[in-house]
Amino acid sequence: MSALPDIDLVVFDVLGTMVDEPGGITRGLRELLPDLGDVRAEELGELWRRYVDEQQREMLAGRRPYASSTVVDREAATHVAAETGFENEAAVRSLTAAALRLDPWPDSVQALGRLASRYPVVGLSNASHAALTRINAHAGLRWHQVLSAEEAHAYKPDPEVYRLAIANAGCPPEHLLMVAAHAWDLRGAQALGMRTAHVERPVGDPPSTSDSFDLSAKDLDDLAIQLDAI
């Protein structure tokens, strides 16, 4: 930790890192289909996530024009609703709304407040501005600033998304700490010179043996303790 320079600002991924995205989708499926079994619910949730991931990769590769997460989530909801046999407007609206009602992880709100008392805290998300407004309101997340990849017409890990955070911070990238539960997200930030902290979550992308991040924490409380010690 002593190798870290002064951190002037902490940037957080939101989906998966601060809120339980898969859990919100599963809850929405159960509201639509109360008798849905655990295995089938997981299958449908994975179908949603796979669709979103595939569409984002298509955009990153330039094979599809940019579309915001609001558009892609509605497409995913339509795709999953068709799979359940409830392909109607009401079902699609219900599932799309579930993607905005994502509960925070148990430590998210309190730890964010603790860190915000010491650093400017910024959310940097692939979610659209409209989605972030509702996600943050539902979860009770309070930021000093929230940035959406929508501004860059791209998705993380496209470098332009991280450049949004760097440009808005007004300081060198090595003075920004990117916090995420996804190793791929941290690699993207690291490539732009940002410092990185991996936080363990029940969902996410764990680091590989070749990854070398500045900090590793079991949760956000642990991260706050580590930063207090710097």
Examine the fold and report which residue of 98, 117, 148 is the final residue of a domain before the chain moves on.
98
In this structure, the answer to whether residues 82 and 157 fall within a common structural domain is no
Sheet containing strand 195-199, edge to edge, reads 145-148, 121-125, 9-12, 176-180, 195-199, 215-217
pLDDT of residue 3: 57
pLDDT of residue 1: 38
* Domain that residue 89 falls in: 21-98
In this structure, the answer to whether residues 29 and 119 fall within a common structural domain is no
How many domains does the chain divide into? 2
In this structure, the answer to whether residues 126 and 51 fall within a common structural domain is no
In this structure, the answer to whether residues 217 and 134 fall within a common structural domain is yes
pLDDT of residue 2: 41
Q: Is residue 119 part of a domain?
A: yes
Q: Is residue 2 part of a domain?
A: no
Judged by phi (left if over 0) then psi (alpha if -120 to 50, else beta), residue 45 lies in alpha
Examine the fold and report which residue of 82, 98, 114 is the final residue of a domain before the chain moves on.
98
Element (H, E) at 50: helix 38-60
Single-letter amino acid, residue 164: L
In this structure, the answer to whether residues 52 and 162 fall within a common structural domain is no
Examine the fold and report which residue of 74, 98, 122 is the final residue of a domain before the chain moves on.
98
Q: Is residue 3 part of a domain?
A: no
In this structure, the answer to whether residues 189 and 106 fall within a common structural domain is yes
Residues in contact with 111: Cβ distance below 8 Å, sequence separation at least 6, in sequence order: 219, 220, 221, 223, 224
Q: Is residue 220 part of a domain?
A: yes
Q: HSE (CB half, 13 Å, CA atoms) of 162?
A: 25
pLDDT of residue 230: 79
* Alpha-carbon gap, residue 187 to 24, rounded angstroms: 26
In this structure, the answer to whether residues 133 and 215 fall within a common structural domain is yes
Question: For the chain, how big is the Rg over CA atoms in Å?
Answer: 18
pLDDT of residue 198: 98
In this structure, the answer to whether residues 121 and 73 fall within a common structural domain is no
Q: Is residue 136 part of a domain?
A: yes
In this structure, the answer to whether residues 47 and 94 fall within a common structural domain is yes
In this structure, the answer to whether residues 113 and 218 fall within a common structural domain is yes
Q: Is residue 1 part of a domain?
A: no
In this structure, the answer to whether residues 64 and 120 fall within a common structural domain is no
pTM confidence score: 0.94
Give, for all 230 residues of the chain, the pLDDT tens digit: 345 779 999 999 999 999 999 999 999 999 989 998 989 999 999 999 999 999 999 999 999 999 999 999 999 999 999 998 877 899 999 999 999 999 999 999 999 999 999 999 999 999 999 999 999 999 999 999 999 999 999 999 999 999 999 999 999 999 999 999 999 999 999 999 999 999 999 998 999 999 999 999 999 999 999 998 87
In this structure, the answer to whether residues 91 and 73 fall within a common structural domain is yes
Q: Is residue 127 part of a domain?
A: yes
